[in-house]
Structure 1
């Protein structure tokens, strides 16, 4: 049996417990061990956080700038941008840098993101999430449409 270890979690699986249970269900049995990489937990946290209304984007200004350059060059804009994860043997901690939509109550949004991320990571990984720290780095303001129809009502371009 091959075991991969690159910043991974090793968790034990107790007989009779399902993998989707909360609070540190185990992934080690008498027949083998399952490890979960930090990147896996970061992707799950990123996808869960994106599902909450009021979240506009993730990452600090620098991370978003690099993401835009990567996207312009044909690279993939990663789902883990703005996510920092520490994974231990039975627990995980997540730090999220996000940009909120203007008008959203930030404390309510942070709590919704926190709860959703905890549920997703615990359900999918079986790890106990000890904390989800959220840093709001920016507010996305609504863009004002400066497109005005020409005075004569004709389209500008044909």
Structure 2
């Protein structure tokens, strides 16, 4: 008699490291912002994963003046969608931290255009 075969979906487990989910979240934030402010740094993320649930913190820099609340909302929404689609994890919380605002006026002054 042949041994019973275990279905492929019931063998083993897939584990995605926190740092991989963090990279997905940071890339999603870049996509939502459509770029990094001139002279700024790309968004970065930290993630805590527990039982297929990811809690995400994204740190980013924005141009000023701009709709800061609207941009943060877009980042939250896009991070939730991309992490769910690519890692299969629920994201009940995305904390967005704006670390720095890049003013058009300060960039122009630094280039010597404003006196």
2:112 to 128, 131, 146: 146
Equivalenced residue count is 100
User: Quick check: which one's helix share is greater?
Assistant: 2
Matched, 1:112 2:74: yes
**What is the deviation of 1:106?**
0.9
2:9 to 7, 18, 29: 29
Counterparts of residues 3-152 of structure 1 (less than 5 Å): 29-53=9-33, 56=36, 82-142=44-104, 143-144=107-108, 145-146=111-112
Preserved CA contact (<8 Å) 1:99 1:137: yes
In the superposition, the TM-score normalised over structure 1's length comes to 0.57
Could you say what the CA RMSD is over the residues aligned between the two structures, in angstroms? 2.4
Preserved CA contact (<8 Å) 1:54 1:100: no
In structure 1, how many angstroms separate the alpha carbons of the residues matched to 2:13 and 2:85?
18
Preserved CA contact (<8 Å) 2:19 2:46: no
Structure 2 unaligned segments of length 5 or more: list them: 1-6
In structure 2, how many angstroms separate the alpha carbons of the residues matched to 1:40 and 1:53?
20
Structure 1 unaligned segments of length 5 or more: list them: 1-14, 16-27, 58-63, 65-78, 148-158
In the superposition, the TM-score normalised over structure 2's length comes to 0.76
**What is the deviation of 1:32?**
1.7
